[in-house]
Structure 1
Amino acid sequence: MPDATDRRILRQLLADPELPNAELAERAGVTPASLWRRLDRLREGGVIGGFEARIDWRKLGYEVQVSLRFTLDKTEPRAFDNFIAAARKVPEVTEIQTFLGSVDMRLSVIARDMAHWQQIYRESILTLPHVQDSDALMLVSTIKDVQELPL
């Protein structure tokens, strides 16, 4: 379990993931050697799973983002597996989530514009297997999008 020093390191890392280790150690109040050991322990313990680039899809020309919610036909034993396998093949699907409750699956889909969205919807989304019901929510704006934790 992370201690207070580990949480200080994690807060600094979340605030600025690109900090050089020497500066991260200074901000967290530890020596560079101690920082290295603690980061290693946090990685080995699975607290830190890795680092990734966050890409702004809009800057790459994708102006439309849609959240699709699906209820699947649960009379089919392989409904979830088949649906997930098919959804993974759609390049514009950026996120796949499963849920408990009235909604089984959620997909995030990006498109360049409305014409591109219609093409994706007709050619890829409507052909997903075992869909009993679906609902689409088009993103208008993002109010809060943080990866920070209350450490």
Structure 2
Amino acid sequence: MAESEEIILGDLDRRLLRYLQAEPSLGHAELGERAGVAASRVTRRLARLEEAGVIRGVRAVIDWRALGYAVDVSLRITLEKSHPRAFDEFLNAARQVPEVTEIQTFLGRVDVRLGVIATDLAHYQAVYRDRILTLPHIADIESLMTVATVKADEALPL
């Protein structure tokens, strides 16, 4: 399907996507049973949604807290942009820091936001000092430590 084409989702597509979001491990037969259609129809519909780029993949979402990470910090970074490749060099280096779980870019005063996790404050301090502060082209950093996550739902309202 061409990139410029917009896919029109029918009721069945939305039902399948809702079930798949809720339980990504469901097989086509079980999805079909829940949606009230044959597994072969589910297979065709899901293939169409994948081909159109609506479904980009199915993945496991791992709770990093269950693995011993207790600290979550959001770093808002302003870059020194006098170097023509400052943005690219910073992003490439930030991708190499294992504790960086998210990288977002912005237009405005803040250029980049990094999501950083650590096992405890001592680990965070070491990551910040040894890995973050050594990233190229940083002009300013503001750190925001997460106190509570009120909503972190990846499901779409289908």
Q: Establish whether TM, by shorter chain, passes 0.5.
A: yes
CA RMSD of aligned residues (A): 1.1
Match of 1:106 in 2: 113
Instruction: Note the alpha carbon deviations across 1:34-89, whole angstroms, 9 max, x for none.
Output: 00000001111111010111111111111111111111122221111110111111
Match of 1:62 in 2: 69
Match of 2:90 in 1: 83
CA–CA separation in structure 2 for the residues paired with 1:116 and 1:75:
32
Match of 2:45 in 1: 38
Asked if 1:16 corresponds to 2:10, the answer is no
Counterpart amino acid of 2:86?
A: A
Asked if 1:52 corresponds to 2:36, the answer is no
Q: TM-score, normalised by structure 1?
A: 0.95
Counterpart amino acid of 1:118?
A: Q
Q: How many residues align?
A: 151
Q: Specify every segment of 5 or more residues in structure 1 that has no aligned partner in the other structure, as ranges.
A: none
Counterpart amino acid of 2:92?
A: A
CA–CA separation in structure 2 for the residues paired with 1:8 and 1:60:
33
Find 2:129's aligned residue among 122, 126, 132.
122
Counterpart amino acid of 1:39?
A: L
Counterpart amino acid of 2:134?
A: T
